[in-house]
């Protein structure tokens, strides 16, 4: 279901609505700056793929999100003139909540964690008939996120390894599906939310802890069912990084290149700085900086 042909088709469909984000070099690593995407994160790709590839009912769309997916769906719905209702947990950052409101979606704060918001959104789906747009466990979401892999391959044809942060796995699943073994894909997760690491150990998606400084973007209860076989086939490994390493990566990106990454957006870079992942001397590494919905003053 998720392969290069379908990712390429999705890329052509969403191209008028997304940014082709740049890659820059920082101390020998190539950074894919997806934080410059519309709505502040890579999630906008999957949002447009859902809204353009699926039939939308009159009731519009509904999404549950830690913040970035909600902002992306709200933005895509605004651009396409579709009603949207977004459920977020109380841990969502004020900046992400403000983005959702600014894009005109109806916002509901439900519970403390993503799982609570997801349950509330599912109840609304049953009541309203709105189309649910899942943050990671939906084919169209994976296809949209896979377009990042396609862009990286075009921008860095000699890339050896791609470091990708993991929450529910839509991003790493889409990118891994595109490369399909042509580059090494390394998943990066917070120590307090090792969703993919535990799933790979168990041989199936399982519940994981959800505590981390990046909990609003990288801490669902478990990875998606659709991405998991892709990860088993094409993700080399999962490495874990501490909250301290994530915050240090945020600071390093800011002081070295004026890049304002949120904690989840900086997690993959934290793997390099903390040496949780150690590349070989000639290894060409690309790091996906996946989101920037954070206030610069907090750095």
List of domains in the chain? 4-41+138-298 (3.40.50.1100), 45-132 (3.40.50.1100)
How far is residue 92's CA from residue 68's CA, in Å, rounded to a whole number? 9
How far is residue 125's CA from residue 127's CA, in Å, rounded to a whole number? 5
Average pLDDT over residues 50-61: 96
Token digits for 299? 């750095």
DSSP 8-state secondary structure symbol assigned to residue 70: H
For 245-295, write each residue's pLDDT tens digit.
999 999 999 999 999 999 999 999 999 999 999 999 999 999 999 998 875
Name the 3-class secondary structure at 155: helix
Rounded (5°) CA angle 172-248-156: 40
Q: What is the pLDDT of residue 113?
A: 79
Is residue 299 scored above 60 in pLDDT?
A: no
Question: Percent of the chain, pLDDT > 70?
Answer: 96
Residue 16, φ and ψ in degrees, nearest 5? -65, -10
How far is residue 22's CA from residue 246's CA, in Å, rounded to a whole number? 22
Q: What is the pLDDT of residue 296?
A: 55
pLDDT band for position 219 (cuts 50, 70, 90): low
């Amino acid at each position: 279901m998720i392969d290069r042909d379908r990712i390429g088709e999705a890329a052509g469909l969403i191209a008028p609505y997304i940014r082709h984000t740049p890659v820059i070099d920082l101390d020998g690593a190539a950074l894919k700056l997806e934080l410059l995407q519309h709505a502040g994160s890579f999630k906008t790709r999957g949002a447009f793929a859902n809204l353009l590839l699926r039939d939308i009912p009159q009731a519009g769309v509904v999404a549950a999100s830690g913040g970035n997916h909600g902002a992306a769906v709200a933005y895509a719905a605004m651009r396409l003139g579709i009603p949207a209702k977004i459920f977020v947990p109380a841990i969502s950052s004020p900046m992400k909540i403000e983005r959702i409101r600014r894009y005109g979606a109806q916002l509901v704060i439900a519970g403390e964690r993503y799982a609570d918001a997801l349950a509330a959104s599912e109840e609304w789906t049953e009541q309203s008939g709105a189309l649910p747009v899942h943050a990671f466990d939906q084919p169209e979401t994976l296809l949209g996120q896979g377009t990042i892999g396609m862009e990286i391959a075009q921008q860095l044809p000699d890339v050896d390894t791609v470091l990708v942060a993991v929450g529910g796995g839509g991003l790493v699943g889409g990118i891994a599906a595109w490369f399909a073994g042509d580059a090494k894909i390394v998943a990066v997760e917070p120590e307090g939310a090792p969703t993919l690491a535990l799933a790979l150990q168990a041989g199936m998606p399982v519940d994981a802890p959800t505590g981390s400084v990046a909990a609003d973007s990288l801490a669902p209860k478990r990875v998606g069912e659709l991405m998991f076989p892709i990860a088993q086939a094409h993700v080399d490994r999962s490495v874990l990084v501490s909250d301290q390493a994530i915050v240090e990566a945020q600071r390093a990106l800011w002081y070295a290149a004026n890049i304002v990454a949120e904690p989840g957006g900086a997690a993959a870079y934290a793997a390099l700085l903390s040496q949780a992942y150690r590349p070989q001397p000639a290894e060409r590494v690309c790091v996906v900086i996946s989101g920037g919905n954070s206030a610069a003053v907090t750095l």
